[in-house]
Amino acid sequence: MPGSGSAPTVVIGTAGHIDHGKTSLLRALTGIDADRLPEEQARGMTIDVGYAHLAFDDGVQLDFVDVPGHDRLIGNMLVGAGEIDAAMLVVAADDGPRPQTLEHLLLLDALGIADGLAVVTKIDAVDAARVAEVVAEVQAHLRTTTLDGAVVLAASSVTGEGIDAVRAALREVRDRVAARVGDDPPLRLAVDRAFAVKGRGLVVTGTLRGGAVTRGDALRREPGGEPVRVREIQVHNQSLDRHEGGRTALNIVGLPIEAVRRGDVLTTGTGPLTIRGAERLLVEVRSPAPLATLAPTAPASAARGARLRLHLGTDQVDVRMRAVRARPGTAILALDRAAATSPGAAAVLREPASGAVVAGVRVLALDPPRGISRRRLTLERLERLSVAIAHGDPAAIDAAVTDVHGVSSDGVRVTFAPDIRLELETAAVEAVAAHHRDAQLSAGLPLPRARAGLLRRLRSLATVQRRDAAAVQVAIASVLDDLVADGRLARQGDALRDPALAATLPAELAAAMSRLELALSVPAPPPLGEAATLAGCPPEGIRALQADGRIVRLGPDLAWAASTYHGLAATALQRARVAPLSPATFRDATGTSRKYVLAILEDLDRRGILSRTPDGHVPGPRAPVA
């Protein structure tokens, strides 16, 4: 029977030079050989990432990620190190710290791994003085990194000396880290292996974080956003109904086997910390630790636009880096392809050819500002975002990301930065006031014109993504609604007005305006001046009708009632969708004359609703979607 659940486990990553005894130490600690590949077992060296686990007497468990130590396999090392909670640095007593010891330590520092221990192995092969010398060397190197203060122990995987002390120290590491494991949503599993199992289909493995997964749960694959369902959960070769964190194997359905790769992330949820695919990242760059002088580091030119390799979670992708001048240590990375990540994620930049470490980075935002919004990358805003990320406060991160972009979207709702919203409110009030000055008898600024004006103002302040167009319209409408609710504007029908001004027109003028509107409600209206005289409507009444959007005026003496004009325009567009529309065809369809149809067609061409071609008028670039 499947188990009903399990406690979250802490994941420890090994690190160290090739042949310093990492896998042998894990075997002595756990009884498990982390070299799972036949080639690894035959050659006696770890080629790919391996896994083991340690169960304490009280049922508490630790997961281990055993990484390769060979310099040519640093990419594989980072696959394991990208999803660990703490590190166990392994140094052989006979060799002492070697190049990959220092490089692994440098990479752990770049990833910000701040908890763990170090073990000096093979103490059975040297005398006590040599062991003490190597322990002192390791302590000195640790002091220059994020692992400063980590305990350094000595042990032998052959004789068993010191192994119990290592287990006890690992338990202490586990207890320190356990409080943090599972408390950093959203739920996610970064895939380090994906393979097919006969009779079951696609299986992925990785480290589960940010919550519990239950059999039957719906997850999302990133990058891409495709839904998948959890068919089965396995932990340490046992089937479970629920698992709360740590090394996990999931049998999933919903995607073909070839569609999932190492580096993908299975996740849930929305919000400021949502994991999704991105091809551009705003990052904070952390220089290598002082021990970089003893390990290979990239030349300074690598940080100035050269092609670099980003190791992010279990993924790696080539990038180009461009510094953000407003704040030293901040940069924009352009990725060769989308990678899955979220604000706050740690990563490493390396020089692809030499493998040298350039820096550690921390993701500040996905899809950094483009276009006019790039002006918002100021020192103050970037500092605020960095602090919010460091504190891990989702609300503060959400606000800071919105402030950097000016406009943010969660895929459903659009939010404006406070200064953007204030600008839109001010623009709306000023637009209504200007409308009253230009058309004193108008009932108010028509809502469509107000919304269109605010959209233009917004686009002058921040970049609006095409995919968010509909949500932006809703957000603009909300700004206007709030102004009415606050009493700064008043609404009369479909118009906005200054609440301090009279809300109604003199009855005689209102009646004259209505008579004129009615006279223009025909496909072939009389001349505007003549119709106004007959209706008894003065010039100010005509201007008010036009300002209110009740009539459409295409010439000094040519106008239609708005509803009539829009009906004629709809007829033109409908026929142009079927076949190129000629003036004669439009004239016959409306029962008017060439004078009227030419004016309407020219207006539609000018506004991009139609486009004139040698064969006739066809739908233009701004034609509404059919």
Lookup: tokens for 170:
């690992």
Cβ-based burial of 494 (10 A; exposed 0-12, middle 13-18, buried ≥19): middle
Segment 347-366, tens digit of pLDDT: 888 888 777 788 888 999 99
If pLDDT is split at 50, 70 and 90, which confidence band does 39 have? very low
Q: What CA–CA distance (Å, rounded) separates 468 from 220?
A: 21
Residue 401, pLDDT above cutoff 70:
yes
Segment 226-275, tens digit of pLDDT: 999 999 998 877 888 998 877 888 999 999 988 998 899 999 877 777 88
- The answer to whether 191 and 202 have CB atoms below 8 angstroms apart is no
Q: What is the percentage of the chain residues whose pLDDT exceeds 90?
A: 50
Give pLDDT, residue 180: 66
Report the chain's mean pLDDT, rounded to a whole number: 85
Segment 526-555, tens digit of pLDDT: 999 999 999 999 988 898 888 778 899 999
Q: What CA–CA distance (Å, rounded) separates 220 from 230?
A: 10
Cα dist. 266→183, 219, 340, 365, 499 in Å? Answer: 17, 6, 9, 20, 53
Name which of 282-296, 479-493, 588-602 the model is least confident about.
Answer: 282-296
Q: Give the residue carrying structure tokens 């400063």.
A: 148
Lookup: tokens for 320:
């180009």
Segment 440-471, tens digit of pLDDT: 777 788 898 999 999 999 999 999 888 888 89
If pLDDT is split at 50, 70 and 90, which confidence band does 439 have? confident
DSSP three-state, residue 363: strand
Q: What CA–CA distance (Å, rounded) separates 600 from 588?
A: 14
If pLDDT is split at 50, 70 and 90, which confidence band does 49 have? very low
The DSSP code sequence of 377-443 is --HHHHHHHHHHHHHT-HHHHHHHHHHHHSEEE-SS-EEE-HHHHHHHHHHHHHHHHHHHHH-TT-S
Q: Considering only CA atoms, which of 214, 339, 200, 208 is closest in space to residue 257?
A: 200
Report which residue type is found at 543: R
